[in-house]
Structure 1
Amino acid sequence: MGGALGRHDDVKSWMPETKIEAKMVEAMQKRESRGCSMKSFDSIILKFPKVDESFTKCKAIFEQFDEDSNGVIDREELKKSFSKLEISFTEEDLNDLFEACDINKDMGMKFSEFIVLLCLVYLLTDDPAALHIKSRIGLPDLEATFETFVDAFVFLDKNKDGYVSKSEMIEAINESWEPSSKRIAIKRFEEMDWDKNGVVSFKEFLFAFTRWVGIDDDKEDEEA
């Protein structure tokens, strides 16, 4: 899920492994150059209820893409939906996006994985010329939520390299909590660092965020 470590420790040259990850890093760095409205880690936590509320809107978009109503979006359903909405991603980028978000590698995206995909599409189309893409996919309604995700990541990524390191996470939490909160910061970082490579990409951050606000596909499956 991460990239290749060029130099050791937090002073690093972190190289993306895939083209789509490189595009995400480039888009995030462009976004980071505009600054951040988040002032503390607490301000991220305070956004959780609003984020949870907006996920109901994501559910409607998910059901629209899930043509056979089996609870997962497969590669063909994704391509067909993007084609129908005239969203001009290359086939390579679509395949890369699908593989990036199919975290369980079961050839289908569940709801939480789909939220991550939508947010990545939002980040990658952060351009006035791409506003029609956002309107076709229903993203304007979700803009505040996705801006929360992006802004939170910008706040955490202190050195603006497109990744969050453990020391950056500790620094972010220490800014608003007691220094003794280092243990909490490390725990939160470990929850985000899915591939255990020492840095967190925006995609990994999104998967952790959906868990933090209570989106859990396994629970949904049990309740169904």
Structure 2
Amino acid sequence: MAENKQSAVSDAHKKIKAAFEAFDYKSNNTVDVREIGTIIYSLGCFPTQKDLHDFIAEVEEDRAGFIHISKFLPAMTKVLLENRFPPIPEERLFQAFEVLDKEKKGYLEREELSNYMTKEGEPFTQVEMDEMMAALTIDEKAHISYKDLFGLLTS
């Protein structure tokens, strides 16, 4: 039992360090606080904006605008091991997008998706929206299929 927990912690540390290092542009074991949401999402966790702000408040260095790996690693390990911010079930996402897709086309227009994601609910920032759009497969007519979007949102 203890061996399994040790293995889970070791695996979590590897994932967290890899995700963190991808945003440690100065190689000084710190990242800009604005990158934390992206790092957490890349680890398969989907906190609400309130949860994200609370997490940042817990790990940020004296409101200096950066987070050090020494604070991030134990806090994020706990989040992963407790499955604190689970992904949204695909069925629930599908239902949500069906509501948005009033004509039942199976896709949303790029502009339409951008509008929903930046102005409704817990809105994405423009930077987050740009990153998401860059990662999506968008056809020549600027259509974004649910399947592609679900893969991005649930991976």
Range into which the TM-score falls when normalised by the shorter chain: 0.3 to 0.5
Q: TM-score scaled to structure 1, two decimals?
A: 0.31
Higher relative contact order (Cα pairs below 8 Å, separated by 6+ residues): 1
TM-score calculated relative to the size of structure 2: 0.41
